[in-house]
Amino acid sequence: MRELRSSSFWRAVLAEFLGSLLYALLGLGASLRWAPGPPSVLGAALAFGLAQATLVQALGHVSGGHVNPAITLAFLLASQLSLPRALGYLLAQLLGALAGAGVLYGVTPAPVRGTLGLSALHPGVGPGQGTVVELLLTAQFVLCVFASFDDRHDGHPGSAALPVGFSLALGHLFGIHYTGAGMNPARSFAPAVITRNFTNHWVYWAGPLLGAALGAVLYEFALCPRPRSLAERAMLRMRALPPPPSPSPSPSPSLQGDPRADSAQHHGAGERVPYP
């Protein structure tokens, strides 16, 4: 439990909370119906995609900028994230998305709120079909994330924020007509809680989480440039824990640790977060 006592852990959890708040606020806000007729599919897709890209760029160096329980699960399964950090991220993502949806509810006129961007199946699309759609959309998103940030490529892949954002936007362009394109359990959870509408809500957990697991397994064991051995995966998990404090000859005069050491510990922890 040393990781829970490190300041880098709590900074990362805070970053996931703030990122999820902004993601829900901006993405769900673009999904509201301000004029007669349905909201713009292109506008909603771009809003979610650009929000993801922006948060990757802004928060990636702190937490990885997951803002999505499915992405967190994928990196946990790929041995690139410790279990305590994954659980901390999950809680922060759910609370952050709920806070973002709450802010959106408070600042939006009542006639415009509607269902607050609630994820819902299109008439004629069954829960099983919706689950498959969510699975496939999330799997392609996870594959893009893993490929964009894989340090095993021969050359530097360049900035990954835009590819990740485009991948998410692509999923929305296709999936909005079927399921509303959840692709993120926290994003679907928040409006469901506020509107108290949990119809077929399980689809938006089962589909993305299964898709994340599928994408992680496919990339790590079949598609990546050089598959990691079991020993390397075990080492990644061991290195995800912060090292124990080394004994010092004299007590430190300050109660606060060196922030540079904290930063080095976070970035050298061995859990390759998906965003730089």
Please give the residue that has the higher pLDDT: either 271 or 16. Answer: 16
Task: Give me the CATH number covering residue 108.
Answer: 1.20.1080.10
Mean pLDDT of 169-173: 98
Least confident range from 36-50, 96-110, 116-130, 213-227: namely: 213-227
pLDDT value at position 45? 97
Whole-angstrom distance, CA of residue 86 vs CA of residue 73? 7
257 within a domain of the structure (yes/no): no
What average pLDDT does the chain have? Answer: 85
Domain with 175, as residue range(s), is: 2-235
Mean pLDDT of 29-54: 92
Q: Reply yes or no on whether the pLDDT at 219 is more than 50.
A: yes
Mean pLDDT of 189-205: 98
15 within a domain of the structure (yes/no): yes
259 within a domain of the structure (yes/no): no
240 within a domain of the structure (yes/no): no
120 within a domain of the structure (yes/no): yes
186 within a domain of the structure (yes/no): yes
Query: What is the number of structural domains in the chain?
Result: 1
Q: What is the pLDDT of residues 221-268, one digit of tens each?
A: 888 866 655 555 555 555 545 555 555 444 433 333 444 444 444 444
132 within a domain of the structure (yes/no): yes
17 within a domain of the structure (yes/no): yes
pTM above 0.85, yes or no: no
83-107 vs 69-77: helix crossing angle, rounded to 10:
170
